[in-house]
Structure 1
Amino acid sequence: MPQKHFTLWTHETGPNPWKVAFVLNELGLEYESKYIDFHTKEQKGPEYLKITPNGRVPALIDHKNGDYTVWESGAILLYLVDKYDKENRLTVPVDHPERHQLYQWLFFQTSGQGPYVGQVGWFTWYHPERLPSVLERYKKETKRVLGVLEIVLSKQEWLVGGKMTIADMIFISWTSASGILLGEDLDFEKEFPATYKWHSKLMELPSVKAAHEEQARATALMKKGKAF
């Protein structure tokens, strides 16, 4: 079987790799997913650390560019649109007045939304002690992030450039996780109606649905103890 254009190092349940899958699908770029086994701490093993010294997912290898490797989801999305989105379908040109606003939203997601929602997950499911005050803080921060999005999306359909870009797509996984983790503490549609509408449109994209189908298959196989 010929090698695919990209190898995407990923995980079944981790939200960050799926941001990359969404964009690869949206741009029609072929890739092979390789799933890291967190139970054996494969992500901290010597072979994977050669790919990314951070020992986390995602990482992307571009086999048509000399096996060029990029890690960190925001950086990967920028690489993909800068190199392979020549028509600027999911981005704005470098000299566009909103180019730095695109960066702004990418950084806001990776440094704000992702870590806050991630901490809700950690202190809900994995931390050995129940710390209600800590959990409350991160739930409030998760809602604060949704509130920031609501301020903007109540005035415009998309975050940057008057169209869907990677600035929108980078939020999909963690916005979904927000709803799951906050549960009854969040009435998404009622509290943040513009953001809910925006997120719902993104979830209906064929590129996103295809990635979610892959994720469901991989998760099912993981639970059966089989390789994907």
Structure 2
Amino acid sequence: MTKSIILYSHPSGPNPWKVAIILEELAILYETSWVAKEDVKKEPFVLKNPNGRVPAIEDPNTGVTLFESGAIIQYLIDTYDKTNKLAYTNIPEKYLTVSWLHVQMSGQGPYFGQAAWFQWSHPEKDLTSAIDRYTNEIKRLVGVIDRHLKDTGAQYLVGNKCTYADLAFVMWDQLIPQLVSGWDFKTEVPYFAAWNDRIVARPAVQKVLADKAKATSH
């Protein structure tokens, strides 16, 4: 009998919820273990993730403990997506999907995260140049996706199939209205906006968005 994966998470950060979406999409049993912000940099959590950040997972079915959301997503796909619901097996599509996941990990996550930090958390408040730097990077990256979708005529990042790469972007993208105030992205980048709407409409994404709203409402 399959046992539940433990997902170590914190309610406010987008990255653990990226993993939750994949777990939901693949109907993998899991339970969430909340880790307080003050506990992520010390034992016992750093024994699970030496980098001291959520998410991390423990999979009792394989004995694997893993950290970093991108690595966790790839592990879940390789281990549990037996029907290739969210992945391709043919080349080049298989590796193009990996490429887009790396864009999310190396581009979207850091740029959006830094924009959020300098707008909401940094102790110094006169940081117009830093905020402009990262909000412009958000617009640039969104524009890359918009142009790609327009040029390819595809519904998703790789062809007309929603993959784990598409799903990896969705939680950070929900912050665009707060991070880039007054930007009418639905008009300026319509291909991106339509793509985002398609992903958000998926039942698994809707469930995770509802779970996040509930977890952050306390």
Q: TM-score, normalised by structure 2?
A: 0.95
Q: Does 1:210 align with 2:207?
A: yes
Residue deviations 1:179-228 (CA, integer Å, cap 9, x gap): 221121x111011101101101111111011112211221123xxxxxxx
The offset of 1:3, in angstroms, is 9.0
Q: Does 1:85 align with 2:84?
A: no
Match of 2:42 in 1: 45
User: Aligned-residue CA RMSD in angstroms?
Assistant: 1.4
Give the one of 162, 165, 175 matched to 1:164.
162
Q: Distance in 1 between matches of 2:48 and 2:113?
A: 24
Residue deviations 1:57-116 (CA, integer Å, cap 9, x gap): 1111111112x11111111111111111111110111x5322211111011111101111
State whether residues 5 and 62 of structure 1, in contact with CA within 8 Å, keep that contact through their aligned partners in structure 2.
yes
- Same amino acid, percent of matched pairs: 41
Match of 2:103 in 1: 108
State whether residues 57 and 71 of structure 1, in contact with CA within 8 Å, keep that contact through their aligned partners in structure 2.
yes
Q: Which runs of 5+ in 1 are unaligned?
A: 222-228
State whether residues 8 and 56 of structure 2, in contact with CA within 8 Å, keep that contact through their aligned partners in structure 1.
yes
Q: The residue matched to 1:160 in structure 2 has which SS?
A: coil
Partner amino acid, structure 1, of 2:177: G
Partner amino acid, structure 1, of 2:60: H
Q: The residue matched to 2:160 in structure 1 has which SS?
A: coil
Q: Distance in 2 between matches of 1:161 and 1:108?
A: 17
Q: Distance in 1 between matches of 2:34 and 2:175?
A: 20
Give the one of 117, 122, 135 matched to 1:139.
135
State whether residues 92 and 161 of structure 1, in contact with CA within 8 Å, keep that contact through their aligned partners in structure 2.
no
Q: Which runs of 5+ in 2 are unaligned?
A: none
Match of 1:178 in 2: 176
Q: Aligned pair count?
A: 215
Partner amino acid, structure 2, of 1:34: S
Q: Distance in 1 between matches of 2:149 and 2:57?
A: 31
Partner amino acid, structure 2, of 1:97: P
Partner amino acid, structure 2, of 1:11: H
The offset of 1:176, in angstroms, is 1.0
Give the one of 50, 55, 59 matched to 2:56.
59
State whether residues 9 and 59 of structure 1, in contact with CA within 8 Å, keep that contact through their aligned partners in structure 2.
yes
Q: Distance in 1 between matches of 2:32 and 2:3?
A: 10
Q: Does 1:71 align with 2:67?
A: yes
Partner amino acid, structure 2, of 1:27: L
Deviation >6 Å, runs of 4+: none
Query: CA, structure 1 residues 151+22, in 2 after alignment: closer, same or farther (shift >3 Å)?
Result: same
Residue deviations 1:126-149 (CA, integer Å, cap 9, x gap): 111121011101110000000000
Match of 2:25 in 1: 26
State whether residues 4 and 32 of structure 1, in contact with CA within 8 Å, keep that contact through their aligned partners in structure 2.
no
Partner amino acid, structure 2, of 1:168: D
